[in-house]
Structure 1
């Protein structure tokens, strides 16, 4: 066994940078729709901004994955986070000068989405490079804990920062991305030991896509994640609207969404010890998520949705860690960037519609009924997943050259 993770300086720098930048992202993930709704009075326009970011990420994912396999992954990570810092700073400046119109939010959301398409696979391959295989499951669990800890502090902190000034959350976001870029630079991610022949992008994508298609279990899991991500993303605005309908403030909304972080941290602590197969885990996650969506609509007050959100978040890290470890075990290193891009694209291709869907449902029927609709759809998905073949895929993998 190699150096313990707590003494692995490269991993800890990546972890620290990711923790800081994810805190900034969770701050603005609440601050952005709240600000757009305050400026326009339209949940749909707030959803359009989130949809623009998701659409840009989806469109850029596959070419970004190919380029990450070809370029220096450390440099890619540094530059993508640097550009994100600049975009957040520009948005803060437009807010301060009174020029933050909807078009500005849309354009900068697209920039952030494209950068995320590069930083995601770059980070995935960087972790694989600096963490020994026998420690990867624990590393993924720590990554999950980092993300959910950010979700504990981010929403209420975002609401408090908005109270201090509408531009403040975005200034903080810019600083966090800058810190993440510096951490990635100091981590000195090693270059690949083997170089692969340069092929046309179409060849690289086809090779990785064919590999995924041959893995029936992964293919079906990806289809389930496609629906889960769509319906999960569609719940954000209905929850915001529900809290507002019950008389809650922006700070109250932040406290409610902190439930995701609290539950996620608890789930991350037990994730490395869970031995259930990914197929069974995903059905469990769907059932819990669907029931919790229904439960949020119960008329128990402003802060009640905190509890169902926390319960949902407890089971989410279990499937994330299990699937991440499975991919690391199966996917050749020189294909990791492409596979990360392709699977993320396949599982998120509908997520650009999620914020708009949530906005339309919440605007048309209110927060509670919208959550009843999404919850029922998730439970139907769970029933379909329970009858599908989600067994573990073949352990053999084709040559990637």
Structure 2
């Protein structure tokens, strides 16, 4: 019997560093709009900065996946997080000096987006390298938990630190990335023993896409995730609209949305104990998502969406952990970086359209009808998934 995951020093170092850096990212995610509004009197540039980061991340994702498969994954993780620390420290300096240069914020956001594109695949390959296949489900459950805890604590802590000084959240975020880089360094992620032949990037990507195309079950799961990400993210603005339509104050909107974090933590705790096949979990979670969307429209008051939103969030880690464990186990080691990038891009390709879709629906038909519509579409997706082959071969690399 192998070493228990809690005693796996390499993984726990990776996890701790990731938890700290994710919390730091949440601090600046909520502090940035406050800062930009204070400087410019508008939230417009905050949206542009976030858009620049998201765009550079998307554009760099696939090239980063190729290079992660070519280079030392541990060093990629260390240097990408070190660069992020330097970029956020430069943001802090931009604030402390009173320069508050928007072009500089835009440039540094682009740097952060590119580094995130490298850190994601590098982290996935590092986890696969240090965690045995039979412990992957538990490892991904622990990974899932840190994200939801950061989501819960980040907004309020970020606002608190911003109150101490405009630059404080950025300094804290820079320190968090530095901690993550040090943890990744001491984790000593093993380098690959076999060197892949150098080829054109197009050939490397074609190999990865070809491998995915021949995995019908995985291909179908990615299509399901693409639909679910679009409809799930689109549902968030109608939730806000519904609370406001029922007379809820702004603080209640925030409280309702914390249901995502509360449910996510609970789901992460129970997900390692769920042993059902991932294809059955996919269908079950889709049903839960659809029913909860419909339930939010019930006339129980402005506070009510908190409950179905929390139930939805409990189901989310069950889906993410189950599918991530299966995918990581079956993807060959020399394809992990590229497949992580490809699966991320393919499953989230429509997500940038989701807020527009959700806002449009909320404006035209109102929050309740929009949620019912999205819920019905998610249930239709569950019906399609029930009659679709989502199984994958349990082939370990």
Pick the TM interval, shorter chain: 0.7 to 0.9
Task: Give per-residue Cα distances to partners, 1:221-266, cap 9 Å, x unaligned.
Answer: 00111122223333445545666674544x6555433322221121
How many residue pairs end up in the alignment?
A: 394
Change (3 A) 1:248 1:321: same
| Residue matched to 1:99 | 100
d(CA) in 1 for partners of 2:352, 2:339: 20
Note if contact 1:151-1:261 (Cα within 8 Å) is conserved in structure 2: yes
| Residue matched to 1:209 | 209
d(CA) in 2 for partners of 1:368, 1:198: 54
d(CA) in 1 for partners of 2:379, 2:263: 21
| Residue matched to 2:3 | 3
Q: Are 2:382 and 1:394 equivalent residues in the alignment?
A: no
Q: How large is the Cα RMSD of the aligned pairs? A: 3.1
**Mapping of 1:31-180 within 5 angstroms?**
31-32=31-32, 49-95=49-95, 97=98, 99=100, 101=102, 106-180=106-180
d(CA) in 2 for partners of 1:37, 1:369: 33
Task: Give per-residue Cα distances to partners, 1:163-210, cap 9 Å, x unaligned.
Answer: 555544333322222211121112111111222222221121111111
Change (3 A) 1:166 1:236: farther
d(CA) in 1 for partners of 2:114, 2:294: 34
d(CA) in 1 for partners of 2:356, 2:188: 40
Note if contact 1:26-1:150 (Cα within 8 Å) is conserved in structure 2: yes
Note if contact 1:231-1:378 (Cα within 8 Å) is conserved in structure 2: yes
d(CA) in 2 for partners of 1:109, 1:255: 29
d(CA) in 1 for partners of 2:192, 2:301: 54
- Which structure is richer in relative contact order (CA contacts within 8 A, separation 6 or more)? 1
Task: Give per-residue Cα distances to partners, 1:330-381, cap 9 Å, x unaligned.
Answer: 1111111111111111111222333444455556776556545544443333
d(CA) in 2 for partners of 1:107, 1:305: 38
Structure 1 gaps of 5+ residues are: none
Moved more, 26-35 or 76-85: 26-35
| Residue matched to 1:324 | 324
Structure 2 gaps of 5+ residues are: none
* Deviation (angstroms), 1:10: 1.1
Moved more, 366-375 or 259-268: 366-375
Moved more, 113-122 or 157-166: 157-166
d(CA) in 2 for partners of 1:159, 1:368: 30
| Residue matched to 2:27 | 27
Moved more, 209-218 or 128-137: 128-137
Note if contact 1:155-1:258 (Cα within 8 Å) is conserved in structure 2: no
* Deviation (angstroms), 1:144: 1.4
* Paired residue secondary structure (1:352): helix
**Mapping of 1:279-294 within 5 angstroms?**
279-294=279-294
- The normalised TM-score by structure 2 is 0.86
- The normalised TM-score by structure 1 is 0.85
Note if contact 2:329-2:395 (Cα within 8 Å) is conserved in structure 1: no
* Deviation (angstroms), 1:214: 0.5
Change (3 A) 1:320 1:364: same
Q: Are 2:199 and 1:199 equivalent residues in the alignment?
A: yes
* Paired residue secondary structure (1:13): helix
* Deviation (angstroms), 1:215: 0.6
**Mapping of 1:283-362 within 5 angstroms?**
283-297=283-297, 303-358=303-358
Change (3 A) 1:215 1:234: same
d(CA) in 1 for partners of 2:161, 2:255: 13
d(CA) in 2 for partners of 1:216, 1:156: 43
Change (3 A) 1:154 1:363: farther
